[in-house]
Amino acid sequence: RVVHRRRYELAAKVPGPTLWLPGLGHIADSMYHYGLSGIDWFIGYYKRYGNVYRMWIGTHLFIVTSHPDDIEAIVTNPALIDKGNTYSLLQPWLGDGLLLLGGKKWHARRKMLTPTFHFRILEQFVEVFNDKGEILQSKLAELAGKGPVDVRPYISKHALDVICETAMGTAMNAQLQEDSEYVHAVKLACKGVDDRHVFPWLAYDAIFRMTQSGKDFFNALDIIHGTTRKVIASRKLELQNELKQGGGAATDEGEADIGTKTRKMFIDQLLTMHLQGADLSEKDIFDEVNTFMFEGHDTTMTSVCFTLFLLAKHPEVQDRVAEELSLVLGDETRYTSAQLGELKYLEAVIKESLRLYPSVPVFFRECREEFPLPSGYTVPAGATIFVNGYVAHHDEKNFKDPFKFDPDRFLPGSEAKRHHFAYIPFSAGYRNCIGQRFAMLSMKATLARVLRSFRVAPASADASLVLDLQVVLTAKDGVHLVVERRQ
């Protein structure tokens, strides 16, 4: 009871909306002011209350901050690595994968998985990016000259093909099939998670299971999990045979030897560790593969779509990108990781796009003990810290003219001028995105492929996007672009 009283006392010192409907707290207030979905309330609340404010959802307290000093103190604090219940809706899909793990288990797993994202391994994925990119290129060629079209389904299938091949070593050929059961299942599973975020009563399993969305969700998980299980079983058999023949030794850097073509994907690296006696069970591998599939698909897809939209709206920037591409890539049709590394302007464009439209705009930390924030307020024990990167990215204290698309902000040399924790599309500190370098490389490869061959334009001069926060930040009505062949 003392802890509760203290929580209410500390919460009362933090600004926030009046609770005029007990039990519904923030939800009622944000619906009243800003509607049911969308993210307008992020900026709305920032304007009303500043960088730090409180929210009650039911009886649970959230302290929201977008202050870079607070963000730094939070993400670099080893006592603040647990995420609590905020991600529990993903549990049936991802189990105890890295994204959801906490405490010592997370520490050990993170240490074990870090080498699987070594740059030497990522370099080999460029071949996959080339193969899948060529298919995307041929699909977009069919759209050229045909007027505005929603490019998202094309980019989405491409992203799925890339992650299936790199995470599971399996070609799903989503781009080549009209009706893939697996692709359909991934879509339904994402929709189920989205629905549960938008309609809070669906968070209760018993209610969710009675709805069509819930039935679709659990059927979809059966298909997704069944596929992961099958792939693990067959790759394990292959690896066991290869190990018997003397391959697959660990290198002195502790990473799995991925010398042969069939043994380079994430799943093979995890299975090699498992077979060599690491503390990584088959169930752990199952959860990690599902996590990579989930984290590595929608995030990059939505970011590529936003970047294409921004380039369509800013032809002068698109021309500069095209110039850089022709300078660095010449007539090459298969790109190398070294060439992709040289595309500094394209990199600045992607970073600026992630500033304006971060795929993962917010994240959470569970606060078990009172935590004083550098900005002045104290987070009570038992509250959840809500880090709002979206607002930090749109705060004029951090970025001049924050709603303007200006990739020059991210050209080499410019970044040193601002607070290191004002820009956090991949989070930062202990629990930053383990797939960050993979994501940047794959997005560069995709955008280079598209923009080398095509010019994109908006569907109309005043085209704009309605943002929606689903599992990731998305454009609610798709991304409609005119695609033309580049001469």
Residues binding ligand HEM (CB under 6 A): 83, 98-99, 110, 291-292, 295-296, 299-300, 303, 359-360, 363, 425-427, 431, 433-435, 438-439
Q: Where are the alpha helices (DSSP H) in 142-258?
A: 152-168, 181-198, 205-210, 212-244
Residue with Cβ nearer ligand HEM (149 or 182):
182
CB of 371 to ligand HEM, least distance (A): 16
Interhelix angle 436-453/315-329, nearest 10 degrees: 100
The secondary structure of 57-84 as a DSSP string is ETTEEEEEE--HHHHHHHHT-TT----G
Residue with Cβ nearer ligand HEM (52 or 267):
267
Whether 58 and 23 have beta carbons less than 8 Å apart is answered as yes
Helix (H, G, I), strand (E, B) or coil at 201: helix
List of E strands, 332-397: 362-366, 371-372, 378-379, 384-388
CB of 299 to ligand HEM, least distance (A): 4
Residue count of the chain, please give it: 487
Residue with Cβ nearer ligand HEM (149 or 428):
428
CB of 282 to ligand HEM, least distance (A): 18
Residue with Cβ nearer ligand HEM (10 or 343):
343
The secondary structure of 408-475 as a DSSP string is GGGSTTTGGGS-TTS--TT--GGG--TTHHHHHHHHHHHHHHHHHHEEEEESSTT----EEESSSEEE
Helix (H, G, I), strand (E, B) or coil at 250: strand
Q: How far is the CA of 306 from the CAs of 36, 41, 420, 460, in angstroms?
A: 23, 20, 24, 16
Q: What DSSP element (H or E) covers 121?
A: helix 119-141
CB of 425 to ligand HEM, least distance (A): 5
Shortest Cβ contact with ligand HEM: which residue? 435
CB of 296 to ligand HEM, least distance (A): 3
Binding-site residues sit at: 433
Binding-site residues for heme sit at: 433
Residue with Cβ nearer ligand HEM (96 or 216):
96
CB of 18 to ligand HEM, least distance (A): 29
| Residues in Cβ contact with 273 at an 8 Å cutoff, skipping those fewer than 6 apart | 112, 256, 280
Closest C-alpha among 33, 30, 39, 63 to residue 356: 39
Residue with Cβ nearer ligand HEM (322 or 433):
433
> In what side-by-side order are the strands of the sheet with 52-57?
52-57, 60-65, 384-388, 362-366
Residue with Cβ nearer ligand HEM (10 or 451):
451
CB of 330 to ligand HEM, least distance (A): 28
Neighbour tally for 178: CB within 10 Å? 5
CB of 48 to ligand HEM, least distance (A): 25
CA 472 – CA 298 distance, rounded (Å) = 7
Helix (H, G, I), strand (E, B) or coil at 297: coil
Structure tokens at 352: 């600026």
CB of 360 to ligand HEM, least distance (A): 4
Residue with Cβ nearer ligand HEM (98 or 308):
98
Phi, psi of 335 (to 5 degrees): -90, 155
Residue with Cβ nearer ligand HEM (72 or 295):
295
